[in-house]
Structure 1
């Protein structure tokens, strides 16, 4: 709950006496650029509509959506705001030594919540970003599986009324895919921001501080908002994206590696801040932000690719049909798609 009342603004520094507001990871500029760079980096084997300028721009805007949901009221805000982060301690445990490591996270979020409660911790303090990322990836996989079936059925259907329904539903599904990529992109993007993976999320905090790191309550927003908005450039982010790697993709293992890498940048961030690296004109801060944005964009690109490729072996609808059989022309998906009732 402490995180959800950070006295900072996402796009600009605020005076200490200003009212407390919530912080949005990366601000608008960072999330837009992560979404756009990821989409521009997709390979040719994804559906062609994903590579259109309109789709790329839409994902850039939709990557901001989970921040724009805020303020809807309760229980909406309390349940969703903690999806944006996970607070790991200096040894990689959720919140403190009572929590589990990323590799030890249970399969279900309900199990995670229960384990934290048994340990005397609160999920509102700890956050549940890993589950938000994996849930969004699985949801996108459903989208892609349905799109594959609709696309194949539309091309083969000879009944004009059914063909028209397939076409209309494919178009609806394409809009939904862009929305769901945007939502997933937001959480994956949050995972590249150091402050969204650490107990030191807004200044070092009330912890041993032998290196004398800042305790400014403006640290978080100053970095991800005004600073990033000033220095971030799409071409530099694209150049910083790591090479694609989706071999043997497993979302939990990939999340663990990704967030472990990010939390490893927390101390370097604070050392750089102490050395003045985020002052205007200092190239070190710009390089740090660009590397983190590039990491987020590259990760999002790979999560999209992996979701698309995994959807080829899925089955959808009821009664269930296999995507591969519909694409091969050996199964009729009509009843599974439209329903018997």
Structure 2
């Protein structure tokens, strides 16, 4: 009875209006499987042994967002979105989660009387923290991959650090998968908001109808997107900037998603254009995840960089007394 009650509760959560469950289980698992299959021989191939575990757990971070576990929910909810229109005032994007949050609050204080409607959504929940969640998971992967390399180099059992890496891959894969879905990168995540000259739907179910109902209806598989993933990229350059650019590319497609919805409400599983959008976006997610895993593996071959003065040192020229640390 307890198991049945729990299952019913989780089911109700998945379909509740306030629970924006990303891509649904199908697409998240396909993205992870496709990314792992695309890892080249000079990448972290050890992760392929954990493909079934990673794919089966692809939606795990969504389970940390239940109303009954509110400490977890408050921390985790923002990690699944990046509502860019909410912080156009903020350039460049801070390289610190906490500097970002403080900037939001300062903006809220500035506009709360003159523009209370905008101020009501100028907070962490309605702006999102997805790129920070992704880069934090990436950093953890670099650390555990160093431990895998060390174990391999000394002939020790590498299975424990490899398991740590597979768990961090679940987290990174989920956030990167979310970011590939245009509605996770816009205020129009659950129906069009604000001025609407093209008459896009304001129905909150649009999110689920696209990323879950349609994806399940077309029976998305790895074979559908594997040819679209392409060669590995992001071999160099700043990874945080790459994540921001990746989210911008996805967010720029949100109007296209709504235009496609006007045709048949995502109910026509034979619609080739909607299929093409799903294939392109999930392939983009798989490619980005593959690239970040490979880049983390390459970075793990180097010893940790010595930061002087340390980020917590008041003498660091970038030290921010409001956060107690220097940003990356």
The verdict on a shared fold, with TM-score over 0.5 as the criterion, is: yes
TM-score for the superposition, normalised by structure 2: 0.80
- Residue number among 25, 30, 33 corresponding to 1:28 in the alignment: 25
Residue 137 of structure 1: how far off its partner (Å) = 0.5
User: How far off its partner does 1:311 sit?
Assistant: 0.6
Q: Does 1:268 align with 2:264?
A: no
Q: What is the RMSD computed on CA atoms of the aligned residues?
A: 2.0
Q: Name the structure 2 match of 1:221.
A: 208
Matches within 5 A, 1:150-299: 150-154=151-155, 166-167=156-157, 170-205=158-193, 207-231=194-218, 232-276=220-264, 278-280=266-268, 281-299=270-288
Match of 1:79 in 2: 75
* Contact map agreement 1:10 1:224 (CA 8 A) in 2: no
**Does the 8 A contact of 1:9 with 1:21 survive in 2?**
no
Deviation (angstroms), 1:63: 2.1
Q: CA deviation at 1:47?
A: 4.2
Three-state SS of the structure 2 residue aligned to 1:24 is coil
Shift of 1:300: 0.3
Q: Rg bigger for which structure?
A: 1
Task: Provide the secondary structure at the position in 2 that maps to 1:46.
Answer: coil
1:143-195 residue CA offsets vs partner (Å, 9 max, x unmatched): 101111111112xxxxxxxxxxx42xx21111111111111100011110111
Counterpart residue number, 1:61: 56
Cα distance in 2 for residues equivalent to 1:301 and 1:153: 27
Shift of 1:276: 2.9
The 8 Å contact of residues 237 and 290 in structure 1, kept in 2 or not, is answered as yes
Q: In structure 2, do the counterparts of structure 1 residues 47 and 83 end up closer, same or farther at CA, with 3 Å as the change threshold?
A: closer
> Does 2:295 match 1:306?
yes
Q: Distance in 2 between matches of 1:9 and 1:239?
A: 36
1:76 to 1:181, Cα distance in 2 relative to 1, 3 A:
same
Correspondence 1:138 to 2:134: no
**Consecutive unaligned residues in structure 2, runs of 5 or more:** 1-10, 109-121, 306-328
The alpha carbon displacement at 1:284 in A equals 1.3
Q: CA deviation at 1:314?
A: 2.4
Question: Residue 313 of structure 1 aligns to a residue in which SS?
Answer: coil
Is the Cα–Cα contact under 8 Å of residues 34 and 286 in structure 2 kept in the other structure? yes
Partners in 2 of 1:268 and 1:9 — Cα distance?
30
Distance 1:85 1:203 in 2: 15
CA offsets 1:38-76 (integer angstroms, 9 cap, x no match): 000000013442233xx2222212322211223261311
Q: What is aligned with 1:105?
A: 93
Q: Which runs of 5+ in 1 are unaligned?
A: 1-7, 90-94, 155-165, 317-341
TM (normalized to structure 1)?
0.77
- Assess, with a 3 A threshold, how the Cα gap between structure 1 residues 200 and 106 changes in structure 2: closer, same or farther: same
Q: Do the aligned residues in 1 keep the contact of 2:209 with 2:266 (CA within 8 Å)? A: no
Q: CA 1:173 to 1:96, structure 2 compared with 1: closer, same or farther past 3 Å?
A: closer
Secondary structure, aligned partner of 1:289: helix
